[in-house]
Amino acid sequence: MPWPRGKVAEGTRFALADGTPVQSWTTATWPDGSVKWSAHAIGPAQRPEPSYELITGEPATPPRPVTVEQADGEVHVRTGDLTWTLRTPYLIASIRSGDREIVREVRPVSIRDGQQTTGIVDNLIVEQDGPVRAVVRLEGRHRDWLPFSVRLYFYAGATDVRVVHSFVWDGDPERDFLAGLGISADVVMRDEPHNRHIRLAGPSGFLTEAVRGLTGLRRDPGEEVRRRQVAGEAVDEIPNPEVADRLHLIPQWNDYTLDQNSADGFTLRKRTGPGHAWVTIPSGTRAPGYGYVGGASGGLAFGLCDFWKLHPTRLDIRNAATDVASATVWMWSPSAPPMDVRSWHDGMGQETYAEQLEGLEITYEDYQPGFANAHGIARTHELRLRVHDTTPSAAELAEHVSLLNSPGLLTVAPARLLEAGVFGTWSLPTADHQDIEARLNFLFQYYVAQREERRWYGFWDYGDVMHTYDADRHTWRYDVGGFAWDNSELSPDLWLWYQYLRTGRADVFRFAEAMTRHTGEVDVHHLGRWKGLGSRHNVQHWGCSCKQVRISSAIYRRFYYYLTADERTGDLLDELDGIEETFLTTDPQRKVRPDVYSPDLHALSIELGVDWGALAAAWLTKWERYGDERARARLLGTMADIAALHYGFLTGNARLDLSTGRFDTSRRGIAVSHLSSLFGLPELCSELIDLDLDVPGFEKAWLDYCRLYLLSPEEQAAELGQPLQGISQELAHSRLAAYAAARTGDPELARLAWRKFLVDKAEWKTTRVDGCLMPVDEAAFISTNGAAQYALAAIQNLSLIPEHRNDRGGTAWRFPDAPS
């Protein structure tokens, strides 16, 4: 929940008006110390209310609150009748229902060099301890590599635990090949083999089997026996002696596997035990990634969110015919080829900067030897483990599958978000601009359709989109250097989040969520020499030698964190602490500098657009979340320094002294880049100005940049003594002119903004293309650069200067497709 500045004091207690128990905490504060963002959790309900009213006051206590007890190196979490015992080296040492142990030894597993090993948990931290919600973070390694963190989320009255698993790839890409990554759990099997049940979810139902089947036999055990076994109910007696006396002759199926090795197909197989052949089960297309093993006395359901989207994945059940079965959710399937993160090409002799820049001219790839290294990239998965006292019905399982892949989320309406004054400049859709709204929807729906048609799925790829289209081959340029995966280039993340803020649409939220999960994990290095830096767009997400804060920027993560209070995203924001120090080791401008420069502790070269914008977002976020004085001082100090520069933001670059966190303000040159404001700088500056931070001159410095960028060369020269060079992406920059117009009340500037934004009257549509690899609906005029910047400009222009749209004059502008 966002709150208007000054409305809610820190320490305020919250309740729900209908008496539903709620647990609350603060995630951000305004500069005056009042609550800016609060987070709220409720437990599960059979019939959740359509809406809840949050009020101040003492919250109700759950009838059976979740409790956390720590003693003798163990943590005991109790949710109703269930007791979850956490103890290293396991993720969960034991799960008991009453006095019966159902599950034991939940553990991370991995495979390398043909050997399966168990990951070791060596640190356990209780982050929240109830009464509605408890969170425990566990940290460890897969023996000598692959550090991981796992958060366990427990809720009062819940029979399941949400498991958020994150790992960092820290191997040598030339010799380390991960052949399997998963989480395993042992399940106690007490029932007769014919009362043990296996369930594996398909696209529309379940594989419904017993370890020892009583259906389809030559002798009929009776209709009621067959019905009860298929329903998962206990068969206490088999009235037909011809069956009852021959149970020992019916095979027991010990092992099951569901393999999803692509987005389009899974295979199923089972066997009676090791050393015996696998029997093929009819297969299917897209499995939702959910299973169950257990029986009349209880068992375990388990699943992986976005199972087929994150292929190659697998579900295993082993030893179901023994006293202790095991269930494994594989995030990287052992059936797939081992994970190969080597560079996609050998560099083709590009050893010098000059040769690399020549390569950039033809394939748009910024290559450098040794930089196409996956060391430090990460991935997060979400799993569920649910304990049952009996075998669940088909209806129960179907509901749980739905909850796995579309979990409930408390949220607030767009109008409520807007009222709080968060995230800078945006507004709600109105009926006055249906043509622009239709195009915003067209762009979003097009990318949703492209993700499906082009199969933008897979372990490392899901959540990202492609950068530029190849109309000749009727495909995105997936294999052409820097034209392939987008990696947040020109801010599609921001586009999606602002579109969600203003519409409240769940489909937009889920698309943005997947992108945030991907770009924050896969496109950023979390260990090693580039820790805290992201990689520019490339055929491989980590392949570009341009390692910059413009990709790892907090600008792209803050939305998801504040809207959901997601702790993993909070970790990613924490990783950006001290991010300015990366400029000592990796100069983002090293290949194109016209001056002589080497990184200096007291004179670090910082670009005032993409660099400072990312640094300022990190400082602002840390100040909001923790009240951190160092971050506050660096933010306000550098804002004051930009104001003190003779040409403000138009200076283009300044030198930062890491020891003081301040810029050298003596620089007087002018250097403008078309990229400076295309990575969230307008959105961030709008938010900073709205905060009214008492930094004299900062707003003027920003308004000067916004006002001058699109003026004619003659007008620029009249004010600056020279025209600005390198002006492009004029449609994208229309929102800067709109911002200046709105702040200054200049109608001519508003009309200029609309002239630069206006698109032609042609209908935006897709064209069906057959005869290529797969039939596709193509809109060849769309690039992700253009789509993201058109959408951001549209959203802000409609918010800032809607009244001037019809008095713009001038000529039409076509959809931009120029690469960045």
* Residues 333-343: tens digit of each pLDDT: 999 999 999 99
Q: Mean of the per-residue pLDDT values for the chain?
A: 96
pLDDT of 814 over the 50 cut: no
Query: pLDDT digit string (tens) for 19-77?
Result: 999 999 999 999 999 999 999 999 999 889 999 999 999 999 999 999 999 999 999 99
pLDDT level of residue 806 (50, 70, 90 thresholds): confident
Question: Is pLDDT at 816 greater than 60 in this prediction?
Answer: no
Confidence at 595, pLDDT banded by 50, 70, 90:
confident
pLDDT, tens digit, for every residue of 395-439?
Answer: 999 999 999 999 999 999 999 999 999 999 999 999 999 999 999
Cα–Cα distance for residue pair 381/166, rounded to 1 Å: 6
- Return the H-helix or E-strand segment holding 208: strand 206-210
Percent of the residues in the chain that have a pLDDT greater than 90, as a whole number? 96
What residues contact residue 687 under an 8 Å CB cut-off, 6+ apart?
A: 422, 423, 424, 620
Q: pLDDT tens across 105-129, in order?
A: 999 999 999 999 999 999 999 999 9
Per CATH, which fold does 67-237+248-340+377-405 belong to?
Beta-galactosidase; Chain A, domain 5 (2.70.98)
Confidence at residue 746, expressed as pLDDT on a 0 to 100 scale: 97
Q: Is 155's pLDDT higher than 60?
A: yes
Question: What's the confidence (pLDDT) of residue 644?
Answer: 98
563: three-class secondary structure by DSSP: helix
Q: What is the pLDDT of residue 523?
A: 98
Q: Which CATH class is domain 414-807?
A: mainly alpha
At residue 808 the predicted structure's pLDDT band, cuts being 50, 70 and 90, is low
Is the model's pLDDT at 484 over the cut of 90? yes
Higher-pLDDT residue of 458, 762: 458
Which pLDDT band, with edges at 50, 70 and 90, does 807 fall under?
Answer: confident
Q: What number is the average pLDDT over the span 370-375? A: 97
CB 331 within 8 A of CB 165: yes
DSSP 459-483: TTTTT--BS-EETTTTEE-TTSGGG
pLDDT at 631: 98
Nearest to 468 by CA among 445, 492, 452: 492
pLDDT in tens, 490-515: 999 999 999 999 999 999 999 999 99
Tell me: the pLDDT tens digits for 701-733? 999 999 999 999 999 999 999 999 989 999 999
Looking at residue 761, what is its pLDDT? Answer: 62
Domain boundaries, the chain: 14-56, 67-237+248-340+377-405, 414-807
Give pLDDT, residue 810. 42
Nearest to 408 by CA among 326, 330, 509: 509
pLDDT at 89: 97
- Would the CATH topology of 67-237+248-340+377-405 be identical to that of 414-807? no
Name the band, by pLDDT with cuts 50, 70 and 90, for residue 763: confident
DSSP H stretches of helix in 657-744:
681-690, 698-709, 713-720, 730-744
Report, as an integer, the average pLDDT of 655-678: 97
Average of per-residue pLDDT across 466-488: 98
The average pLDDT across 242-262 equals: 98
Model confidence at 815: pLDDT above 80: no
DSSP codes of every residue in 722-787:
SPPSS---HHHHHHHHHHHHHHHT-HHHHHHHHHHH-B-SSPP--EEE-SSSS-EEE-TT--HHHH
Token digits for 136? 């425990």
How sure is the predictor about 488, in pLDDT bands with cuts at 50, 70 and 90? very high
Residues forming a β-bridge with 304: 383
Six token digits for residue 339:
């994970």
